[in-house]
Amino acid sequence: MTVSPLAPERFPTLPAVAGVRIATHAAGIRYEQRADLMLAELPAGTTVAGTFTRSLCPAAPVDWCRNMLPTGLARAIVCNSGNANAFTGRAGETAARLTAETVAGALGFEPTEVFLASTGVIGETLPEATLVEALPILAGELTEVTPAGWAAAAGAITTTDTFPKGASAVMRHDGTSANVVGIAKGSGMIAPDMATMLAFVFTDLAVSAEVLQHCLSAAVEKSFNCITVDSDTSTSDTVLLFATGCVGAQDPITTTADPRLHGFVDALEEVALDLAHQIVRDGEGASKFVTVRVGGAADDVAARTIALSIANSPLVKTALAAEDANWGRIVMAVGKAGQAANRDELAIWIGDEPAARHGVQSPTYSEERATAHLREPAVTLAVDVGVGTGEATIWTCDLTHGYIDINAGYRS
């Protein structure tokens, strides 16, 4: 496995989040000689928020988490890689419940406080016996999380990611300081596995579940929901945010009007965007990190649809892979998006180079300058569709032979 050329130089040194204890284990669910199971224990009173795949064929752990979320309380998150426990019917539900019961039994709380995520092949029953044997071992090995612990956890949840993903930020307000730390996995949907976008974010700040959900939903909308690798949506996408409450426990944040929330929201959004960008940078076969900005749309939703049409167009993505300033394909992608666009006012920039304006090629356009920008590892396409003030930004990667190599390979 070659590490993506767009990978960060190294896994970051992530700070502790007070109250979080973590263990990882090589349970042998599918992979040999690597950790494939992660358990994080959280202190009593930890609040939780979550967002999940919009797939109408969600995996069993997604059903489980959705059912448990309304209590707003969590004591553990368990994640395995190698098997998605998706499209496994009744057997999948049973395996999910058994996983939660085993952890709850070993640690002395309720199964309803255990959150679950699974990533890997679809349609194969999760090997319950393996989990029931491994989970008590993990429970016995839990330790307060260290930088090495975060790195191990980020590695355990990967499938065919080419690098583990982590990010952190600090929230400060008057005398209060809290950490926000996240790990994530995903690079689109990767063979041999049905891959998945998973992210687990932890903070030691005391925040009510309701406010936490409000903050998470907003942060996800601006980060994980603004990336696309190949337009394919997993059955298992899950983002969970846990607040242990160890910082500010005597005065938790319980309203969105709390002034301390600004710093927290900033830190959360920073971590979410960092993780989301790392997922794009690990996009299957990616050789370019691509920012698509759309302005001048009827509204922000229309801008987003147009930006996704550009970002998901195989023709735009292959042109980027070839470092080919074929901006006609951007016109095509705008045209097919189905949102209001004024062809005769359309403007397109490749990096800072104006390629088109007023519906024709820009008189000053230099294909040489545009191509020079496209040779960079991070490129920007900007479009103004000339009808309003709606705007959106989407991040994606290019479409290369590497994507075909990864996804047209056999699973076995």
Active site residue ranges: 196
> Is the alpha carbon torsion for 183, 188, 193, 195 positive or negative?
positive
Q: Which is nearer to a copy of itself, 45 or 328 (CB)?
A: 328
Member of 48, 131, 337, 382 binding a copy of itself (CB under 8 A): 337
Using rule CB under 8 A, residue 5 touches a copy of itself: no
Q: What is the nearest approach in angstroms of a copy of itself to the Cβ of residue 299?
A: 16
Using rule CB under 8 A, residue 328 touches a copy of itself: yes
Which part of the chain contacts a copy of itself (CB under 8 A), choosing from 16-24, 138-146, 228-236, 266-274? 228-236
Q: Which is nearer to a copy of itself, 140 or 338 (CB)?
A: 338
Using rule CB under 8 A, residue 329 touches a copy of itself: yes
Binding mask 63-102 for a copy of itself (x = CB under 8 A): ---------------------x-xxxx-x-----------
Using rule CB under 8 A, residue 58 touches a copy of itself: yes
* Residue owning tokens 């063979």: 191
Tell which residue, 264, 260, 340, 347, has the closest CA to residue 302: 340
Q: Please give the torsion angle defined by the CA atoms of residues 82, 87, 92 and 93, in that order, rounded to the nearest 10 degrees.
A: 130
Tell which residue, 202, 207, 211, 205, has the closest CA to residue 247: 205
Distances from the Cα of 397 to the Cα of 69, 277, 384, angstroms: 33, 10, 21
Integer Cα distance of 145 and 17 in angstroms: 7
Q: Which is nearer to a copy of itself, 238 or 312 (CB)?
A: 312
Member of 359, 376, 377, 389 binding a copy of itself (CB under 8 A): 359
Using rule CB under 8 A, residue 322 touches a copy of itself: yes
Which part of the chain contacts a copy of itself (CB under 8 A), choosing from 129-137, 216-224, 246-254, 337-345? 337-345
Q: Which is nearer to a copy of itself, 68 or 348 (CB)?
A: 348
Q: Which is nearer to a copy of itself, 57 or 301 (CB)?
A: 57
Member of 102, 187, 326, 396 binding a copy of itself (CB under 8 A): 326
Member of 23, 96, 346, 347 binding a copy of itself (CB under 8 A): 346
Distances from the Cα of 36 to the Cα of 26, 377, 398, angstroms: 5, 32, 29
Member of 9, 32, 54, 257 binding a copy of itself (CB under 8 A): 54
Binding mask 22-41 for a copy of itself (x = CB under 8 A): --------------------
Using rule CB under 8 A, residue 393 touches a copy of itself: no
Q: Which is nearer to a copy of itself, 10 or 54 (CB)?
A: 54
Q: Which is nearer to a copy of itself, 58 or 263 (CB)?
A: 58
Query: What is the enclosing helix (H) or strand (E) of 402?
Result: helix 401-407
Integer Cα distance of 317 and 314 in angstroms: 5
Identify residues 193-222 at the interface with a copy of itself (CB under 8 A). Answer: 194
Please count the residues of this chain forming the interface with a copy of itself, following the rule CB under 8 A: 67
Query: Phi/psi zone of residue 246: left (φ > 0), alpha (ψ -120 to 50 degrees), beta?
Result: alpha
Using rule CB under 8 A, residue 253 touches a copy of itself: no
Distances from the Cα of 237 to the Cα of 116, 187, 324, 338, angstroms: 12, 12, 33, 27
Task: List all residues 6 or more positions away from 227 whose beta carbon is below 8 Å from its beta carbon.
Answer: 276, 277, 279, 280, 394, 395, 396
Using rule CB under 8 A, residue 230 touches a copy of itself: yes
Integer Cα distance of 118 and 126 in angstroms: 9
Q: Which is nearer to a copy of itself, 226 or 356 (CB)?
A: 356
Member of 6, 79, 122, 142 binding a copy of itself (CB under 8 A): 122
Start-to-end CA distance of the chain, whole Å, equals 16
Residue 176 forms beta bridges with which residues? Answer: 173
Structural contact between residues 138 and 169, judged by C-beta atoms closer than 8 angstroms: no
Q: Locate 92 and state its tokens.
A: 């999948």
Using rule CB under 8 A, residue 130 touches a copy of itself: no
Beta strands in 3-46 (DSSP E): 21-25, 37-41
Distances from the Cα of 407 to the Cα of 57, 244, 353, 388, 412, angstroms: 21, 39, 34, 39, 12
Distances from the Cα of 73 to the Cα of 188, 203, 310, 395, angstroms: 30, 14, 40, 33
Using rule CB under 8 A, residue 298 touches a copy of itself: no
Binding residues for a copy of itself, rule: CB under 8 A, are: 53-58, 84, 86-89, 91, 121-124, 189, 191, 194, 230-235, 312-315, 318-319, 321-322, 324, 326-329, 331-341, 343-344, 346, 356, 358-361, 399-401, 403-404, 407-411
